[in-house]
Homo-oligomer: A and B are copies of this chain.
Amino acid sequence: MIFTAHVEILPHPDLLDPQGKAVLLGLSNLNITAIEDVRVGKHIVLNIEADSMQVADDLAKEACEKLLVNPIMERYSYEVTED
Protein backbone atom coordinates (compact mmCIF):
# COMPACT_ATOMS: atom_id res chain seq x y z
CA MET A 1 0.00 0.00 0.00
CA ILE A 2 1.09 3.55 -0.63
CA PHE A 3 0.94 6.10 2.15
CA THR A 4 1.67 9.81 2.12
CA ALA A 5 3.28 11.54 5.07
CA HIS A 6 3.10 15.32 5.38
CA VAL A 7 5.87 16.58 7.64
CA GLU A 8 5.87 20.13 9.02
CA ILE A 9 9.17 21.42 10.40
CA LEU A 10 9.36 24.80 12.14
CA PRO A 11 12.11 26.62 14.01
CA HIS A 12 11.79 26.31 17.81
CA PRO A 13 9.55 29.09 19.16
CA ASP A 14 12.37 30.30 21.42
CA LEU A 15 14.84 30.77 18.59
CA LEU A 16 15.26 33.73 16.30
CA ASP A 17 14.14 32.95 12.77
CA PRO A 18 16.16 35.18 10.40
CA GLN A 19 14.30 33.93 7.31
CA GLY A 20 10.98 34.83 8.95
CA LYS A 21 12.30 38.30 9.83
CA ALA A 22 13.37 38.79 6.21
CA VAL A 23 9.87 37.87 5.02
CA LEU A 24 8.37 40.26 7.57
CA LEU A 25 10.53 43.06 6.19
CA GLY A 26 9.46 42.18 2.66
CA LEU A 27 5.80 42.32 3.71
CA SER A 28 6.31 45.69 5.36
CA ASN A 29 7.92 46.98 2.11
CA LEU A 30 4.70 45.92 0.38
CA ASN A 31 2.68 47.88 2.99
CA ILE A 32 1.28 44.70 4.48
CA THR A 33 1.72 45.68 8.11
CA ALA A 34 -1.13 43.68 9.63
CA ILE A 35 1.04 40.58 9.52
CA GLU A 36 2.96 40.86 12.78
CA ASP A 37 5.13 37.80 12.83
CA VAL A 38 6.36 35.23 10.35
CA ARG A 39 8.09 31.92 10.87
CA VAL A 40 9.49 29.96 7.98
CA GLY A 41 9.91 26.22 8.09
CA LYS A 42 9.81 23.24 5.78
CA HIS A 43 7.00 21.13 4.44
CA ILE A 44 8.11 17.71 3.27
CA VAL A 45 5.93 15.14 1.54
CA LEU A 46 7.02 11.50 1.71
CA ASN A 47 5.52 8.72 -0.43
CA ILE A 48 5.90 5.52 1.54
CA GLU A 49 5.36 1.93 0.40
CA ALA A 50 4.39 -0.06 3.50
CA ASP A 51 2.18 -2.94 4.60
CA SER A 52 0.28 -0.99 7.22
CA MET A 53 -0.35 2.49 8.52
CA GLN A 54 1.73 1.66 11.61
CA VAL A 55 4.78 0.71 9.53
CA ALA A 56 4.40 3.87 7.41
CA ASP A 57 4.11 5.98 10.57
CA ASP A 58 7.28 4.41 12.02
CA LEU A 59 9.17 5.06 8.77
CA ALA A 60 8.10 8.70 8.66
CA LYS A 61 9.22 9.13 12.27
CA GLU A 62 12.57 7.46 11.57
CA ALA A 63 13.15 9.70 8.53
CA CYS A 64 12.40 12.80 10.61
CA GLU A 65 14.65 11.82 13.48
CA LYS A 66 17.57 10.49 11.47
CA LEU A 67 17.66 12.95 8.58
CA LEU A 68 15.03 15.64 8.20
CA VAL A 69 14.88 17.40 11.55
CA ASN A 70 17.55 19.09 13.63
CA PRO A 71 16.04 18.63 17.12
CA ILE A 72 18.22 21.37 18.59
CA MET A 73 16.76 24.07 16.36
CA GLU A 74 13.51 22.64 15.05
CA ARG A 75 10.35 20.93 16.10
CA TYR A 76 8.22 18.77 13.82
CA SER A 77 4.87 17.14 13.40
CA TYR A 78 3.59 14.79 10.74
CA GLU A 79 0.46 13.15 9.52
CA VAL A 80 0.24 9.94 7.53
CA THR A 81 -2.66 9.21 5.19
CA GLU A 82 -3.37 6.23 2.97
CA ASP A 83 -3.60 7.06 -0.74
In the complex, the count of this chain's copies comes to 2
Tier of interface size on chain A: 20 to 34
Residues of A within 8 A of B (CB): 2, 8-10, 20, 23, 26-27, 30, 32, 34-50, 55, 59, 62-63, 66-68
Which B residues are CB-close (under 8 A) to A36?
A: 2, 47-49
Whole-angstrom CA separation of A32 from B50 in the bound complex: 12
User: Cβ of A41: which chain B residues have Cβ within 8 Å of it?
Assistant: 42-45
Starting from the known contacts A35-B47, A36-B49, A37-B47, 12 additional A-B residue pairs (CB-CB under 8 Å) come to A2-B36, A8-B43, A10-B43, A23-B68, A30-B66, A34-B59, A36-B47, A37-B46, A38-B45, A38-B46, A38-B47, A42-B42
